């Protein structure tokens, strides 16, 4: 005990082998990656209907907390345990982060394992956050939280083990996946597609005249994501080195070209530039840069951005062909973007660029005459897609068989909105106006497929109240439909109610 009463630690930890600059750099990059979670939440909220916008913010934030616990509990061990040799999934050697401290990390000798585990935890959180977009307008949140824990255990951890663990089969086979084209992008995109398939299509009423409720939130979420993605890809060099700078540059180029190409394709049809289109293309470019940015030259990222901007744009039609209601285009942007990036590694990966971190050695792709790399990448893409879709669908079906864990909300809840029925709060305070007017809550009529509320006014007339200003139908128009002192006849009153009910069904979205 020293003179201050402190007991000296008996734990011997040697951190002198690590450069403090590398450690500081990865800590900062990990903090940037954390920004991707609110970026995803705001993006999804802006893309959804107003009555379900807070629902998506909440589920992205809450699933982040679940994954943090899962990763501490056994997720890191199942993905990166160095003593597991089956090539598919790790063991529980590092259960509860036991023994994870100052040894060189399994991903890079440049940083300690404790820091590496933190950084990889952020990747898992982002992946599940993206997957939660499949709940849009119809998914129940509490079953989704339980699902996120199990999905991370049985789907994400194996995918991460395959390509990043030193004992993974894809790692040993020589697959090139710099920052997560397989585990993060294909995992979230195809996982979201499978989850949407099990949930089923939204009602036709919810699909009618659908458009994002707040494009400003879409833009803000995209720009936050863009910032976080620089930490995501730059930090995957695991040190403050030139390879990290290369990855950041490649990410910027692919994002820029992806956004512009998507906009041009939309302009060809609409003769207008679209903010949502630019954001979608930018994200697709960042997705494609995820597996490539630490391997390919800068000029190749120009090609990557152009190709993924066009490919992901046309891939948004895939959900119609498959008849799967992938509401937020997770498959088109994340899965297809990941596929493009992984395949482009087969063409453009350069061994000299990968070695800029001082520790990585790869045979490269076609640029280095390694012709077989392309089929290795293609086989890995096929395996990742098949495993993710089948496992996610089976897990979702199993959850849906448990009465208390039904994944989808009831038709009545969908009509009211997920914010009202699942969260109890709202993304905007429009609802405060309706509380001042008799605390209006619509009643669902399943035989009509619409919501309607009928109040008896003091003069005996029928008054309907709508919530929101949607698709050119402001609230005030509904109130003006019944002028003061108007007492309808029996037939006319019924017609008035039916006519206004149609307005309610459109405006309450």
- Determine contact, residues 33/49, Cβ cutoff 8 Å: no
**If we measure between CA atoms, which residue out of 382, 313, 307 comes closest to residue 347?**
307
Euclidean distance between CA atoms 55 and 424, whole angstroms: 9
DSSP-assigned letter for residue 445: E
Q: Which pLDDT value is given to residue 174?
A: 95
Q: Which pLDDT value is given to residue 454?
A: 41
Is 224 a domain residue?
yes
Handedness of CA 76, 79, 82, 83 (dihedral sign): positive
pTM of this structure:
0.83
- CATH number of the domain enclosing 244: 1.10.3430.10
Is 138 a domain residue?
yes
Q: Which pLDDT value is given to residue 427?
A: 80
Length of the chain: 509
Strand partners, 133: none
Is 457 a domain residue?
no
Helix (H, G, I), strand (E, B) or coil at 435: helix
Sole residue written with tokens 């789907």: 155
Is 405 a domain residue?
yes
Is 232 a domain residue?
yes
Write out the H or E segment, with its range, that includes residue 147.
Answer: helix 141-151
Number of domains forming the structure of the chain? 1
Helix (H, G, I), strand (E, B) or coil at 350: coil
Euclidean distance between CA atoms 44 and 192, whole angstroms: 13
Is 505 a domain residue?
no
Note down the domain range covering 189: 20-423
How do the pLDDT tens digits run along the chain, 509 residues long? 555 555 555 555 677 788 899 999 999 999 999 999 999 999 999 999 888 899 999 999 999 999 999 999 999 999 999 899 999 999 999 999 999 999 989 888 999 999 999 999 999 999 999 999 999 989 999 999 999 999 999 999 999 999 999 999 999 999 999 999 999 999 999 999 999 999 999 887 777 767 888 999 999 999 999 999 999 999 999 999 999 999 999 999 999 999 999 999 988 887 889 999 999 999 999 999 999 999 999 999 999 999 999 999 999 999 999 999 999 999 999 999 999 999 999 999 999 999 999 999 999 999 999 999 999 999 999 999 999 999 999 999 999 999 899 999 998 898 888 988 888 888 876 544 444 444 445 555 555 554 444 444 444 444 433 333 333 334 343 334 433 344 444 444 434 434 433 333 333 34
Strand partners, 139: 408
Helices H / strands E in the chain, number of each: 24, 4
Q: Which two tokens stand for residue 198?
A: 């099990």
Q: Measured in whole angstroms, how far is the alpha carbon of residue 23 from the centre of its chain? A: 28
Longest dimension (CA), the chain: 93
Is 432 a domain residue?
no
State the alpha helices, DSSP H only, in 316-410.
318-322, 330, 336-348, 351-354, 373-400
Is 152 a domain residue?
yes
Q: Which pLDDT value is given to residue 373?
A: 96
**If we measure between CA atoms, which residue out of 267, 264, 317, 311 comes closest to residue 285?**
311
């Amino acid at each position: 005990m020293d003179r201050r009463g402190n007991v000296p630690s008996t734990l011997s930890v040697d951190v002198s082998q690590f450069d403090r600059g590398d450690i500081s750099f990865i800590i900062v990059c990990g903090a940037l990656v954390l920004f991707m979670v609110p970026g995803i939440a705001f993006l999804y909220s802006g893309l959804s209907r107003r009555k379900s916008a807070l629902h998506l913010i909440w589920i992205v934030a809450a699933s982040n907390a679940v994954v943090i616990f899962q990763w501490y509990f056994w997720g890191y061990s199942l993905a990166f345990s160095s003593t597991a040799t089956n090539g598919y999934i790790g063991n529980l050697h590092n259960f509860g982060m036991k023994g994870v401290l100052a040894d060189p990390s399994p991903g890079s000798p440049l940083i300690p394992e404790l820091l590496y585990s933190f950084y990889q935890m952020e990747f898992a959180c982002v992946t599940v956050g993206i997957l939660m977009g499949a709940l849009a307008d119809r998914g129940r949140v509490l079953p989704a939280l339980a699902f996120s824990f199990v999905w991370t255990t049985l789907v994400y951890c194996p995918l991460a083990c395959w390509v990043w663990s030193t004992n993974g089969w894809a790692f040993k086979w020589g697959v090139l996946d710099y920052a997560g084209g397989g585990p993060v992008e294909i995992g979230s995109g195809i996982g979201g597609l499978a989850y949407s398939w099990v949930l089923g299509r939204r009602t036709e009423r919810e699909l009618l005249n659908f458009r994002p409720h707040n494009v400003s939130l879409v833009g803000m979420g995209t720009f936050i994501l863009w910032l976080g993605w620089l930490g995501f890809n730059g930090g995957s060099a695991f040190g403050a080195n030139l390879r990290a700078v290369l990855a950041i540059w490649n990410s910027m180029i692919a994002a820029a070209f992806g956004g512009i190409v998507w906009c041009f394709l939309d302009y060809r049809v609409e003769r207008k530039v679209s903010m949502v289109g630019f954001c979608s293309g930018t994200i697709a470019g960042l997705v494609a840069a995820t597996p490539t940015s630490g391997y390919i030259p800068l000029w190749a990222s120009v090609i990557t951005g152009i190709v993924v901007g066009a490919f992901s744009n046309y891939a948004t039609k895939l959900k119609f062909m498959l008849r799967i209601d992938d509401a937020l285009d997770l498959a088109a942007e994340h899965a297809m973007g990941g596929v493009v990036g992984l395949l482009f590694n087969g063409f453009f990966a350069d061994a000299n660029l990968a070695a800029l971190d001082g520790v990585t050695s790869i045979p490269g792709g076609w640029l280095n005459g390694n012709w077989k790399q392309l089929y290795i990448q293609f086989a890995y893409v096929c395996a990742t897609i098949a495993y993710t879709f089948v496992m996610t669908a089976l897990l979702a079906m199993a959850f849906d068989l448990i009465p208390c864990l039904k994944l989808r909300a009831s038709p009545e809840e969908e009509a009211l909105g997920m914010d009202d029925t699942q969260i109890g709060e709202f993304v905007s305070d429009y609802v405060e106006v309706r509380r001042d007017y008799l605390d209006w809550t619509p009643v669902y009529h399943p035989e009509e497929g619409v919501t309607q509320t009928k109040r008896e006014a003091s003069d005996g007339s029928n008054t309907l109240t709508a919530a929101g200003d949607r698709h050119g139908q402001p609230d005030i128009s509904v109130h003006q439909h019944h002028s003061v002192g108007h007492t309808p006849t029996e037939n006319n009153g019924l017609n008035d109610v039916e006519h206004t009910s149609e307005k309610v069904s459109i405006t309450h979205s």
